[in-house]
Amino acid sequence: MSNLKKLKGSEAHATYIVTGSDMRKLKNLKINLTCEDEFLEDV
């Protein structure tokens, strides 16, 4: 947990649209996110 601060300013990419609590967690960690323009589909 103490190393989470080291993620500040890092880059991440998701192959789907990140929403809700996942997006809030990334913003709180100050991780820059890019994502595709498709929602994750349940298979």
Quote the pLDDT of residue 38. Answer: 82
CA angle 31, 11, 39 (to 5 degrees): 80
Quote the pLDDT of residue 40. Answer: 78
How far is residue 23's CA from residue 15's CA, in Å, rounded to a whole number? Answer: 14
Q: What's the distance, CA 5 to chain centroid? A: 15
Q: Over the chain, what is the mean pLDDT?
A: 90
- Sorted by where each begins, the domain ranges of the chain are 13-43
| Res. 42: pLDDT tops 80 | no
pLDDT in tens, 3-21: 999 999 999 999 989 989 9
Amino acid, res. 21: S
| Res. 43: pLDDT tops 80 | no
Q: Is 27 exposed, middle or buried (0-12, 13-18, 19+ CB in 10 A)?
A: exposed
Quote the pLDDT of residue 24. Answer: 95
